[in-house]
Amino acid sequence: MHVLVLGGTTEARTLAGLLHSRGERVTSSLAGRVASPRLPAGEVRIGGFGGPAGLARWLREHQVDALIDATHPFADTISSNAARAAATAHVPLLALRRPGWVAEPGDHWHPVGSLEEAAAVLPDLGERIFLTSGRMGLAAFAGPELATSWFLLRCVDPPEPPLPARLRVLLDRGPFTLDGERELLAAHRVEVLVTKDSGGAATAPKLQAAREAGVPVVLVRRPPAPPGLPQVATAQEAAVWVAAQSSG
């Protein structure tokens, strides 16, 4: 079996480790967005494929037997490309998608459909904003409506303009601890948290810290997944699916 894992997530790394440790040939594909990515076990390739046709070609040329889309829930272009390429190349495809977060008593969540919608609701919620939605798409917060707001942006690599006028950047990468998140919210007197509904444990403590501090959360909803695909929530379940492909 040659398994291609479209990665860039903790789950993708875990899955590559599981498959590699049981002797499968596994190649992980990364987009190349992060300067020093955490590398999974097995083979790694970095960079785009050139759309669905390029990915379909790669699947054929490298004799891939099974494809797993373990990309981030917000990486919807590559997920749609994977669905099209797998159909073209007749390679079985599984989506590995961690579940979204679920609100708990005490949460004040404001679900929105995009970063632009997030920016539009911020003036009613507070002026000191903790942005954890990543370094892409920050132009949404750079408009004159938010010129007096202060932003703390946490991301892995430095962001590029256009950026909010009053901005402090904190370069850091999860997992984050509850104590650390509590301290961060208090030290910066955060009034609003902005996050994508990424799900998973590594970045969830900020939600508990916000709940405890009574800080509202602007939560960007996930884009829809390509319809009709088999989907699992954990790397372990994906490894079981791979085993079923090889025995079938």
Q: Which stretch binds ligand NAP (CB under 6 A): 36-44, 73-81, 138-146, 235-243?
A: 73-81
Could you tell me the two tokens for 119?
């920016």
Q: Whose CA is closest to 6, among 25, 32, 31? A: 31
Rule CB under 6 A: is residue 101 a binding residue for ligand NAP? no
Interface of this chain with ligand NAP, residues 124 to 183, rule: CB under 6 A: 134
Q: Whose CA is closest to 229, among 6, 1, 18? A: 6
Shortest reach from residue 95's CB to ligand NAP, in Å: 12
Give the number of other Cβ atoms within 10 Å of residue 243's Cβ: 14
Shortest reach from residue 229's CB to ligand NAP, in Å: 15
Rule CB under 6 A: is residue 81 a binding residue for ligand NAP? yes
Q: Which stretch binds ligand NAP (CB under 6 A): 4-12, 118-126, 200-208, 228-236?
A: 4-12
Interface of this chain with ligand NAP, residues 7 to 26, rule: CB under 6 A: 7-9
From CA 234, how far away is CA 14, in angstroms rounded? 9
DSSP state of 75: -
Rule CB under 6 A: is residue 235 a binding residue for ligand NAP? no
Alpha carbon distances (Å) from 44 to 20, 209, 233, 238 = 12, 36, 23, 19
Place of tokens 């990309």: 71
Q: Whose CA is closest to 43, among 81, 84, 2? A: 2
CB nearer ligand NAP, residue 74 or residue 241: 74
Rule CB under 6 A: is residue 42 a binding residue for ligand NAP? no
Shortest reach from residue 247's CB to ligand NAP, in Å: 27
Could you tell me the two tokens for 24?
């499968």
Rule CB under 6 A: is residue 223 a binding residue for ligand NAP? no
**Single residue of 27, 49, 115, 242 touching ligand NAP by CB under 6 A:** 49
**Single residue of 21, 22, 38, 48 touching ligand NAP by CB under 6 A:** 48
Rule CB under 6 A: is residue 71 a binding residue for ligand NAP? yes
From CA 16, how far away is CA 29, in angstroms rounded? 10
Rule CB under 6 A: is residue 75 a binding residue for ligand NAP? yes
128: left (phi over 0), alpha (psi -120 to 50) or beta: beta
Here's the x/- map for ligand NAP, 182-211, by CB under 6 A: it reads as --------------x---------------
From CA 149, how far away is CA 127, in angstroms rounded? 5
Give me Rg for the CA atoms of the chain.
19
Q: Which residue ranges make up the site for ligand NAP (CB under 6 A)?
A: 6-9, 29-31, 33, 48-51, 54-55, 71-72, 74-78, 81, 134, 196
